């Protein structure tokens, strides 16, 4: 994660010197073909489908390992309705997707549909590497606001346009999982778990007294690419940047209050953060595996919805439960709802040879029945398309299914720019400097706001030229 911004700059040079994004190509690909004959077919999805399209669709994706046969099954189901379309699945290691796709575009051989995380959308859009989907969405009556959770579709928007449709949730990453055996051993009630920061403080004191050597929660471990300061600030009515993308808001009372709480929370548990940090690495961009959690050093841990299946397989006898990320109970404007961004999406690159057939595949796999079967039925995972999550069979196999759906309803999309990776690094460093007591929370806030604003100002100056 740390080298991602450097990589983007390197690839940007490749893309900017390539000839594939000529003016003629841009004009040709941003004009949408007139509406063809089509109809809504319930077995395909709640939108107009054009089953008469034909051609080969190269689909660049990160569905490796056990998901390869699931993808093959999805392609076979699609072919039943689109017999003249051939889907060529090109599987790439997820960490290499951006590199592979940008290199292919620079060589003039882009995929027709590609899988890229939503926090990369501004970069791709600003550099003319992808096409907006709004006209296709309008033409085929894809009601994205009705189909998707607001936080999920919101993460695909940039500069007033929709550039992708979500395939994997960007939210649903920040629940607090509790080991119920340890909760009860400490004399606490597992049926009445903390809902606020203040209740977390109270539980931390009890854990320290009744379970020496254990801690309640290490709050600096959050899902990859979601800085802890941003995550906890979101449940304190805080924002890191203005909606117009011109001002950094990290010097707000909400941000300072969040950082001060994080520092006191770890100090009250261990005296210093160094004593309770999950890893020796200063970059807390990782989260624990079930095997690391089970020894009992931490009563609770923050993790995403995908952990349910991991716990089922790794610790089938463990008694556990989970809650939404607690909010600041002292702030009357604070609301539940963690950030939703950086989820996997499908988009169409500039230079794609078969946009029409690619669009049918993109719709089917994100807003259509392909999404239901691939994500919910086959992987037992909540979908960013809320219309497919009302599944009683899946709900019966997931003890926190309703909690996940509630979290997805409450999740907040985060404003992202092409320089987000650089600003994100600053947010990480701010938190580390405060937790490791290299700076006071106020000093860290002042430093981070100043540095992030420089980056944002430089970007805004360039885009205004």
d(CA 346, CA 358): 10
pLDDT > 50? residue 252: yes
**Measuring CA to CA, which residue among 8, 127, 109, 428 is closest to residue 259?**
428
Write down the pLDDT at residue 171: 85
pLDDT > 60? residue 284: no
pLDDT > 60? residue 224: yes
**Measuring CA to CA, which residue among 179, 181, 217 is closest to residue 197?**
217
At 357, which helix (H) or strand (E)? helix 355-366
d(CA 459, CA 465): 10
pLDDT > 50? residue 20: no
pLDDT tens figures, 166-208: 999 988 889 999 999 999 999 999 999 999 999 999 999 999 9
pLDDT > 90? residue 293: no
Cα distances from 45 to residues 358, 380, 388, in angstroms, run: 15, 20, 11
Question: Taking the complete model, does pTM exceed 0.85, yes or no?
Answer: yes
Burial class for 378, CB neighbours closer than 10 Å (0-12, 13-18, 19+): middle
pLDDT tens figures, 360-403: 999 999 999 999 999 999 998 999 999 999 999 999 999 999 99
Domain ranges of the chain: 4-171+341-413, 175-337+419-464
CB 106 within 8 A of CB 324: no
Write down the pLDDT at residue 48: 98
- Residue 149 Cα to chain centre, angstroms: 13
Q: Which structure tokens are listed for 301?
A: 């841990």
Write down the pLDDT at residue 28: 37
B/e letters for 267-287, b = 16+ CB within 10 Å, e = fewer, are eebeeebeebbbeeeeebbeb
Q: Which structure tokens are listed for 146?
A: 């009705």
Confidence band for 2, pLDDT divided at 50, 70 and 90: very low
Write down the pLDDT at residue 306: 83
pLDDT tens figures, 46-57: 999 999 999 999
Average pLDDT over residues 252-266: 98
d(CA 226, CA 103): 26
Write down the pLDDT at residue 23: 32
Write down the pLDDT at residue 30: 52
**Measuring CA to CA, which residue among 165, 159, 97 is closest to residue 128?**
159
φ/ψ (deg, to 5) at 159: 55, 40
CB 276 within 8 A of CB 218: yes
Average pLDDT over residues 99-120: 95
Please provide the CATH number assigned to the domain covering 4-171+341-413: 3.40.190.10
All residues at 6 or more sequence positions from 107 whose CB lies less than 8 Å from its CB, including other chains: 18, 20
All residues at 6 or more sequence positions from 400 whose CB lies less than 8 Å from its CB, including other chains: 175, 305, 308, 321, 322
* Average pLDDT over the chain, rounded to an integer: 90
Q: Which long-range contacts (CB under 8 A, 24 or more apart) does 62-69 make?
A: 62/91, 62/92, 62/93, 62/94, 62/97, 62/115, 62/344, 63/89, 63/91, 63/115, 64/91, 64/93, 64/94, 67/379
d(CA 220, CA 233): 12
Q: For the domain made up of 175-337+419-464, give the CATH fold.
A: D-Maltodextrin-Binding Protein; domain 2 (3.40.190)
Lowest mean pLDDT among 7-21, 60-74, 419-433: 7-21
All residues at 6 or more sequence positions from 349 whose CB lies less than 8 Å from its CB, including other chains: 101, 105, 110, 111, 112, 114, 124, 129, 130, 131
d(CA 223, CA 285): 7
Write down the pLDDT at residue 29: 46
CB 455 within 8 A of CB 420: no
Burial class for 449, CB neighbours closer than 10 Å (0-12, 13-18, 19+): buried
Write down the pLDDT at residue 283: 56
- Residue 112 Cα to chain centre, angstroms: 23
Residue 328 or 285, more confident: 328
Burial class for 209, CB neighbours closer than 10 Å (0-12, 13-18, 19+): exposed
Confidence band for 307, pLDDT divided at 50, 70 and 90: confident
Q: Which structure tokens are listed for 10?
A: 């390197």
Domains 4-171+341-413 and 175-337+419-464 are alike in CATH topology: yes
d(CA 291, CA 26): 50
Q: Which residues make beta-bridge pairs with 39? A: 49
């Amino acid at each position: 994660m740390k080298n991602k911004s450097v990589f983007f700059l390197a690839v940007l040079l490749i893309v900017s010197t390539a000839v594939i994004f000529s003016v003629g190509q841009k004009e040709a690909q941003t004009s949408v073909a007139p509406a063809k004959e089509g109809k809504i077919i319930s077995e395909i999805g709640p939108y107009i489908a054009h089953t008469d399209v034909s051609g080969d669709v190269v689909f660049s994706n990160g569905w490796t390992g056990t998901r390869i046969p699931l993808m093959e099954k999805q392609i076979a189901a699609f072919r039943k309705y689109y017999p003249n379309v051939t889907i060529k699945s090109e599987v790439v290691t997820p960490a290499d997707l951006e590199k592979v796709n940008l290199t292919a575009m620079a060589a003039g051989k882009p995929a027709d549909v590609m899988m890229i995380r939503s926090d990369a959308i501004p970069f791709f859009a600003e550099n003319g590497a992808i096409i907006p989907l709004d006209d296709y969405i309008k033409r085929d009556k894809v009601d994205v606001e009705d189909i998707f959770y607001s936080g999920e579709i919101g993460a695909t928007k940039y500069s007033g346009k929709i550039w992708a449709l979500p395939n994997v949730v960007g939210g649903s990453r920040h629940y607090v999982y509790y080991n119920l055996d340890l909760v009860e051993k400490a004399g606490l009630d597992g049926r009445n778990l903390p809902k606020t920061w203040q209740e977390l403080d109270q539980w931390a004191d009890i854990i320290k007294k009744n379970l020496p050597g254990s801690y309640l929660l290490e709050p600096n471990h959050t899902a990859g690419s979601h800085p802890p300061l941003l995550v906890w600030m979101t449940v304190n009515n805080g924002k890191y940047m203005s909606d117009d993308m011109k001002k950094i808001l990290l010097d707000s009372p909400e941000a300072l209050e969040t950082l001060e709480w994080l520092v006191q929370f770890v100090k009250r548990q261990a005296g210093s953060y160094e004593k309770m940090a999950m890893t020796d690495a200063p970059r807390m961009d990782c989260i624990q595996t079930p095997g690391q959690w089970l020894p009992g050093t931490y009563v609770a841990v923050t993790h995403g919805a995908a952990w349910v299946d991991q716990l089922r397989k790794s610790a089938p006898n463990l008694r556990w439960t989970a809650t939404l990320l607690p909010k600041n109970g002292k702030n009357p404007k604070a609301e539940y709802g963690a950030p939703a961004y950086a989820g996997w999406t499908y988009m169409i690159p500039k230079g794609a040879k078969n946009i029409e057939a690619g669009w049918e595949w993109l719709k089917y796999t994100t807003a259509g029945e392909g999404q239901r079967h691939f994500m919910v039925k086959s992987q037992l995972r909540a979908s960013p398309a809320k219309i497919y999550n009302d599944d009683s069979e899946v709900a019966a196999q997931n003890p926190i299914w309703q909690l996940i759906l509630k979290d997805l309803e409450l999740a907040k999309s985060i404003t992202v720019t092409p320089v987000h990776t650089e600003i994100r690094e600053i947010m990480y460093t701010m938190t580390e400097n405060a937790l490791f007591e290299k700076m006071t929370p106020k000093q860290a806030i002042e430093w981070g706001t100043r540095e992030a604003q420089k980056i944002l100002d430089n970007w805004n100056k360039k885009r205004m030229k």
